[in-house]
Amino acid sequence: MRRILCVLGVLLTLTAVGQKKTVTSITQQITRNESEAHLTFLAADEMRGRDTGSPELKIAGNYIATWFHQHGLKTLPGAPDFFQPVNLEKSTPANSGMAKLGDDTFQFKESFLVLGGSNTTWNGEFIYVGYGSEEELDKVDVTGKMVLALAGSKEADNINKVFTASNSKYSTVIARGGEGLVEFLTFSQIPFPTLVNFFTGGPRWGLQVQGSAQPHIWLKPADLKKINFREGDKITGSLSVGGQKREPMPGRNVAGLIEGTDPKLKDEYIIVTAHYDHIGVGKPTGNQDSIFNGARDNAIGTVALLQIAKYLSQYPPRRSVLLVAVTSEEKGLLGSRWYVDHPLVPLEKHILNINCDGVGYNDKSIITSISLGRTTADEKLKVAARAFGLGVGGDPDPKEGFYERSDQVSFAAKGIPAIKLQPGLAKMDDEIRKYYHRQADEVSTLDFEYLTKFYRTFVYTVSLLANEQIPPFWNTGDKYEEGGKKLYNRN
Ligand SMILES: [Zn+2]
C-alpha cells in the first residue's frame, strides 16, 4: 500500500511539474501584443465587417492561411493551400405564392411564407403528421406526398428553436421521399409580418445541396381551432411559389493540421473551429458608423485559432489537432454544416469539437462554456482555467438556445462531442446587447488584459484534451449521446 502511495506520489509530482512547464510555455508564447495585433487587423474598419461574399472576407481567409503556413501546419487533401471550397448559393426570395388546403386559401405574405425550395406549381395530396417528429414520421408513408405539420417541435419554446427544429424536420422529410414540408405556425412570439420582412427582405445565402428544390413553407392559420386534423389524415390541395432565383457562389473554410506525436493517438482528431465571417456593412445609426466590425463576434474566436496554431506547432500534442476557420456562420452555420457533410478526415475520427464564438463578455473572472455539464471535457477546462486565475461558468440562459445557434451544433448533430467556449458571459444584459451585432463591436472596446488570460486558458484546454489518453464523450443522458454511440460504434 505504502509503495503504491509512493508511486502515486511520484506520478502526481511528475504531472504537476509537466503542467507547470506547460503553463510557463503558454504564458511565454501567448502574448497580449500579438492578440491585440491580430484583432486590430481582423476587425479594422477596412475589413468592412467580413461579410459573406465580400473581398474582405477573402482577405481575412488569406490572413489565417498565411499564419497557418508560417507556423508549419500541414494541408489536407480536400483543402489544398489550406482552403476547403464551400459551395454557397445566393438566392433571391420568392415574390409570389399561394396554398390551397381543402376550402382554405393562404396568400403570399399575408399568411404564406417561403423558408426554402425552388419555384413550384404543385397539386396533390397533403399528409398531416402532427409535429412530424421521427416517431410520428415512422407511422406514415410520406413518399410522393406534401407533408403537413405543426411548425417546430413540441419542445421548441422560442423562435430560434422553432427554426432549428423546422429545418432539421425539412431534411428528414426530404430524405424520406416527401415532396416538401408545409407547416402551420402556431407560435406567436414574433408577429407574422416581421417574419415576412425577414424572409423577403433581400437575397439570402445557403448551401448548394441536393434536395433543396422541394418547398418548405410556413402558413399562418387565421383560426388555430380549425387545425383539427389527426395524424395520418390526407387533404387534397395545391401549392405555388414563384419569382425565386438561385446563383452559385464560392466560399472557403480555412483548414490546417497539427499532426499528433503519439503513433496511435495521432489518428484521433480534435477539431477546433471558429467562424471568421461577420455581418458586413449596414446603415449608420445614431453616432455610429455603418461598419459592423465583429471584434467580439468573432474576431476573438478567429484569433483563438491563430494562437492554437502558434502554440501547438511548437508543442505538438499526442493527438492530431485540426484547425478550421469556418465561413458564413452568420448566414446559418453554412461553413460548419458544409464541413460535417464533407469532412477532411472521416467523421468518426473526429473525437471532439471545440468551438470558440461569443456574443461578448460581462464577467472577467470566468471563461464560459455554453456546453458545461454536457461532456466529460469539463474537468480539463477547469484545470486550465484555474492555472490562469479564472473560474468556469456555464450557459447563463439555456432559453436563448446558445448551444443550438453556433457551429458546434453541426458537429453535435453528427454525434461528435462538441463544446463551445467563449469569454465570460454572466447573463444577457445591456452590456452584451450594446455590442452584439452592432457597429460598436470594435477592437478599441476590448479588455486585452482579460483576453490574454482567456486565450491562455483556451490554448491550455486544447493542449490538455489533445494529450489526454481517454477521449472525451457525451455525459450520460445528453440529447446527443445516442448519436455519439452510433458514430463511434460504442454500443
Ligand atoms: Zn458568432
pLDDT of residue 210: 55
CB atoms near residue 168 (< 10 Å): 13
- CA of 304 from ligand 1 middle (Å) equals 13
- CATH class of this structure's domain 28-88+249-487: alpha beta
pLDDT greater than 80 at residue 491: no
Same topology, domains 28-88+249-487 and 94-243? Answer is: no
The DSSP bridge pattern shows strands 104-107 and 96-101 to be: antiparallel
Look over the chain and give the mean of its residue pLDDT values, rounded to a whole number.
Answer: 94
DSSP class of residue 332 equals T
DSSP class of residue 321 equals E
- CA of 360 from ligand 1 middle (Å) equals 9
Q: CB–CB of 256/403 below 8 Å?
A: no
**Residue carrying C-alpha cell 468573432:** 298
CB atoms near residue 7 (< 10 Å): 10
- CA of 249 from ligand 1 middle (Å) equals 22
- CA of 406 from ligand 1 middle (Å) equals 7
- CA of 279 from ligand 1 middle (Å) equals 10
- CA of 325 from ligand 1 middle (Å) equals 12
- CA of 309 from ligand 1 middle (Å) equals 20
Residue type, 421: L
CA 50 – CA 17 distance, rounded (Å): 43
- CA of 329 from ligand 1 middle (Å) equals 7
**pLDDT of 153-201, one tens digit each?**
998 888 888 988 999 999 999 999 999 999 999 888 888 999 998 888 8
pLDDT greater than 70 at residue 152: yes
**Biggest CA-to-CA distance, the chain:** 84
- CA of 133 from ligand 1 middle (Å) equals 29
DSSP class of residue 20 equals H
pLDDT band at 4, cuts 50/70/90?
low
- CA of 58 from ligand 1 middle (Å) equals 18
pLDDT greater than 80 at residue 6: no
213-217, 318-322, 418-422, 480-484: least confident range: 213-217
Question: Which DSSP string do the residues of 238-293 spell out, in sequence order?
Answer: EEEEE--EEEEEEEEEEEEEE--SSTTGGGSEEEEEEE--B--B----TT--SB--
- CA of 357 from ligand 1 middle (Å) equals 5
> Global pTM?
0.83
- CA of 436 from ligand 1 middle (Å) equals 9
DSSP class of residue 298 equals I
Q: Beta partners for 60?
A: none
- CATH class of this structure's domain 94-243: alpha beta
**pLDDT, greater one: 227 or 294:** 294
- CA of 8 from ligand 1 middle (Å) equals 44
- CA of 315 from ligand 1 middle (Å) equals 28
Q: CB–CB of 150/184 below 8 Å?
A: yes
SS (H, E, C) 91-121: EECCCEEEEEECCEEEEECCCEEEEECCCEE
Cell digits of residue 65: 492561411
**Residue carrying C-alpha cell 390551397:** 100
- CA of 438 from ligand 1 middle (Å) equals 12
CA 330 – CA 30 distance, rounded (Å): 28
What residue segments make up the domains of the chain, in order of their start? 28-88+249-487, 94-243
The distance of Cα 291 from the centroid of its chain, to the nearest Å, equals 23
**pLDDT of 87-106, one tens digit each?**
999 989 999 999 999 889 99
- CA of 159 from ligand 1 middle (Å) equals 18
